[in-house]
A and B are shown apart, each in its own frame.
Chain A
Amino acid sequence: MSEAFLIAENLHKSFNEHKAVNGVSFTIEKGEIFGLLGPNGAGKTTTIRILSTVLEPDRGDVTIGGHSIWHEADAVRGLIGVCPQELALYANLSAMDNLVFFGRMVGLGGKEAQAQAMAHLELMGLVDRARGKVDKFSGGMKRRVNLAIALMGHPELLFLDEPTVGIDPQSRNNIYETIEGLQQKGMTILYTTHYMEEANRLCDRVAIMDGGQIIALDTPYELKRQIGPPDKTTLEDVFLKLTGRSLRD
């Protein structure tokens, strides 16, 4: 893991007077799972929206796979897959139709989209429900479809924005195993979550954001070691120590 696949440099983004992202810089190595943690309103989702070319930053640049989001946005889109925090699905279409549709949008041909859709549904344990309408699915199944869509086109960099929110342990475990399997195949992943044990289990490195800035960035082990014995300290201890205990909206 020595090749920087994503380089974010001095990103700034404001909405009216509110600075959502304020000078964020970091790199993600090829094949790495990079965790982006932070309380509500820390700027995680805005950062992901910038990295995935949805939002233009006020300042700063991002290079993904050697392509700038400013000048080669379409090339960047060819490298990324996005699993948004909210379920972004067509509820009245089947799981298969959702996957095939987004597959065609990322540039796959009809047969290739069908084949990948089936493979990803199998990976998510949803083959037997492939033709079922998504609005009849449970929350966990919808989450898995949401993730499967992000895998269409075999992206090199996957953005996972809280992919396990509100689902049962079985679905969560399925998603963990899928993510670990994807990493083994060489996929680079940026992962945001509020579940610290998740970040501890999956992430090679973790950046903790607050107030639109990165306030700590290291491996989970090193972050824990900085505040106490790593075997007796949790990532949640680190998180609370760095971001405080005051409630966030």
Chain B
Amino acid sequence: MIRSFIVALREARTYLQDRAELAFSLLLPIVFFALMYGAFGGQAQFHATVCVVNEDQGGTYANLLLERLAELESLDVELLSGREADNKLERSDLLLVVYIPEGFSQRITDGEPVQLVFKQRGHGGQEGRIVASLVRSVAEEMNQEFQANERVKNNLAGRDIPEERIEVTVQKFLEREREHPIVEVREDTVGASPDMVNQFLPGIITMFVLFAINTMARTLVEERKLGTLERLMTTHLSVGQLFAGKFLANVSRGFVQTLILLALSYIVFQLFTPLSFVEALAIALLFSAATSTLGFIIASIARTEDQATWIGVSFTMIMVTLSGTFFAIPEGTVWYTLSRVSINTYANEAFKVLIAQGGSLADLGLEMGVLGGVIVVGLFLSRILFRVLPGGR
């Protein structure tokens, strides 16, 4: 066993002495995290731009609508011409445009019903639907204010109160109501959008750990190329000890990278409790071991670095694609059935249970069983392949 540790230490020293590789492999999780933070962490509240075509230039109510939209913190207003808007919709540069029709203000003044038009591609996208909803609520608010104004005017008709005074008074009242509503909604941000992080973080972690396949796949090939593998085979080092040493080194390396990602997620996104963090580390260790084992199988088969790299990369791509790393796969589909072949699926699901569903390791019997099985079968298979293929022992 001591020889396995010495092999692992030798691998670690080689890794630590290669400054470029060290920097790359340790910085990469941080860069990934920064990207994730930039995408989901930096702006916790919804913010979007509403594109408006105002065909009622100068209209009182059109301007009022634009002012009200601009007052919303979550919306920026961009005015477009009709042609610009059509072009952008055509090219899918925009998914939703709000049209204020000609005569909008006049018809409101005349007491006639008017329509705001939402032109959109498909259902307008998730952001478009939220924008539409915000615009609709502003329009409804204006509608209610107009109705209130009209009713007060009607009720006070014949009392010799100037119409302008009624209008100013009602507006003051409504303005005060808007500033101090009876029912107020307060938004407290306690972290990034959990749905997005929950969806992406497990995928990023599993994809990252899967890189271990490539480093593992190359390890025996590099030793072969250097001639050190053959030299080691003339010493007391057994193949089992060699495998154990390399396995230990690779699992540790993958685990450290995952640890960085999980720790940053814990600190910044507050996704874990102390217990769920430890449980996530346990899953990361198990998954790192499973991927290293798969890398070992490739290492036992490959005869050149190119072979090892290509088999490793292809395998990684297939596993990531099949597992639906960055999107949900609908149950009952062929893809869902195929996804059961990918070990990423089980690691993804395990992380999601721990991160999003508040589960524990006790809920992850299947996932841990599959990953553990991959380790046992993979090590056994790689040992057999190393024995039977040319150049092995």
Contact = CB atoms under 8 A, between A and B. Distances in A.
Interface of A: 49, 52-54, 74, 77-78, 80, 82, 84, 86-93, 97, 101-102, 104-107, 133, 149
Given A93-B10, A106-B236, A88 B231 contact: yes
B17 A82 contact: no
Q: How large is the interface on B (under 10, 10 to 19, 20 to 34, 35 or more residues)?
A: 20 to 34
A82 to B, nearest CB: 5
Interface stretch (B67-75, B181-189, B222-230): B222-230
A133 B234 CA distance: 24
Given A74-B236, A106-B236, A92 B227 contact: no
Contacts of A92: 14, 17-18
Nearest to A101: B10
A82 B231 contact: yes
A149 B18 CA distance: 23
**Looking at chain A's contact residues, is the secondary structure mostly helix, strand, loop, or mixed?**
loop
Which residue among A53, A102, A105 has the maximum number of chain B CB atoms within 10 Å of its CB? Answer: A105
A88 B10 contact: no
A90 B228 contact: yes
21 contacts: A53-B233, A54-B234, A74-B236, A77-B234, A77-B236, A82-B231, A82-B234, A84-B230, A84-B231, A86-B227, A89-B226, A92-B17, A93-B13, A93-B14, A101-B6, A102-B231, A104-B6, A105-B3, A105-B235, A107-B236, A149-B231
B237 interface: yes
B14 A102 contact: no
A36 B10 CA distance: 34
Interface in B10-27: 10, 13-14, 17-18
Given A92-B17, A93-B14, A101-B6, A106 B235 contact: yes
A97 B9 CA distance: 11
A149 B226 CA distance: 14
A77 B3 CA distance: 15
B222 to A, nearest CB: 10
Contacts, number: 62
A98 B3 CA distance: 15
Given A82-B231, A88-B226, A89-B228, A97 B236 contact: no
B35 interface: no
A78 B6 CA distance: 18
Which residue among A87, A88, A92, A93 has the maximum number of chain B CB atoms within 10 Å of its CB? Answer: A88
A90 B227 contact: no
Given A93-B13, A105-B237, 13 more contacts: A52-B234, A54-B234, A82-B231, A82-B234, A84-B230, A87-B227, A88-B226, A88-B227, A93-B14, A105-B236, A106-B235, A133-B17, A149-B231
B13 to A, nearest CB: 7
**Looking at chain B's contact residues, is the secondary structure mostly helix, strand, loop, or mixed?**
helix
A27 B234 CA distance: 20
B228 A88 contact: yes
A77 B235 contact: yes
B116 interface: no
A84 B227 contact: yes
A89 B234 CA distance: 14
A78 B234 CA distance: 9
B152 interface: no
B282 interface: no
Nearest to B6: A104
B227 A105 contact: no
A49 B391 CA distance: 11
Contacts of A49: 230
B338 interface: no
A107 B13 CA distance: 20
Contact of B234 (A80, A90, A91, A107): A80
Contacts of B236: 74, 77-78, 105-107
Contacts of B18: 92
Contacts of A74: 236
Which residue among A89, A97, A104, A133 has the maximum number of chain B CB atoms within 10 Å of its CB? Answer: A104
Nearest to A88: B227
A19 to B, nearest CB: 16
B232 interface: yes
Contact of A105 (B13, B14, B226, B232): B232
